[in-house]
Amino acid sequence: MMATSTDTPGWPPAPPLIAILRGLERDRAGAVGRVLFDAGLRALEVPLNRPEALAGVEALARIAPPDALIGAGTVTELEQIDSVAAAGGRLIVSPHLNTVLVKHARARALRVVPGVFTPTEAFAATRAGADALKLFPAEMLSPPGLRALLSVLPAGTLVWPVGGITADSISRWREAGANGFGIGSALFSPGVTLEELQRRASAFVAAWRLSDK
């Protein structure tokens, strides 16, 4: 069964916006995390297909507020889940669906958000116990496509578009039923200044709050 928001504190995160910190530098992790937390974000993932990713997870976990979820993205192997947990991570995000990974993460009491694109994948993910579904790549599917997908999924399924999401596009996806998002390069890229990061993060949080009214 898919988890519900009452299972543990901090799930789903509020707002349910996952900051995707691809290429996060180890020596900037603390500063980047503080900016994002101060802006109101509470879910941060560091993709594992870049150097020093686990060090970034560990650094963020040390400074995270109690209601924050820190974890890793681009998780494709079982041993990576164990490594993320050892680094203090509690969130596992994958670009694809592998039900073995989903079940292993749940057995470790971690939150798990696999990537799906088709109804077949979405149903398989929910049956495996996914906490939410990462609709990826969202650029390839329109908001009406999400609305059609949600019409056949179990009520209450959390579906979070990822890929090409901007502050300006959040309202359109929300109108179609999206109840969270993963935000990548429109928010963070290596070398972005902390001032610019703060501006972008605040814009995303403001767009979410406006769409949630």
Cα(39)–Cα(185) distance, integer angstroms? 17
Total-model pTM: 0.94
125 C-beta neighbours (distance < 10 Å), count = 27
As a residue count, the chain comes to 213
Residue carrying the six token digits 């009491």: 109
| Residue 66, both tokens | 């109690």
12, 37 Cβ separation under 8 angstroms: no
Q: What is the mean pLDDT of each run of 10 residues along the chain (213 residues)?
A: 48 96 96 98 97 96 96 98 98 98 97 98 98 96 95 97 97 97 97 97 97 82
Please report the DSSP string for 35-89 in residue order. Answer: HHHHHT--EEEEETTSTTHHHHHHHHHHH--TT-EEEEES--SHHHHHHHHHTT-
Classify residue 81 as exposed, middle or buried by CB count within 10 Å of its CB (0-12, 13-18, 19+). Answer: buried
CA distance 113 to 89: 14
Measured CA to CA, the distance from residue 113 to residue 93 in angstroms comes to: 5
Helix (H, G, I), strand (E, B) or coil at 19: strand
The predicted structure's pLDDT at residue 8: 53
Residues annotated catalytic, as ranges:
45, 134
Kindly report, residue by residue over 121-167, the tens digit of the pLDDT. Answer: 999 999 999 999 999 999 999 999 999 999 999 999 999 999 999 99
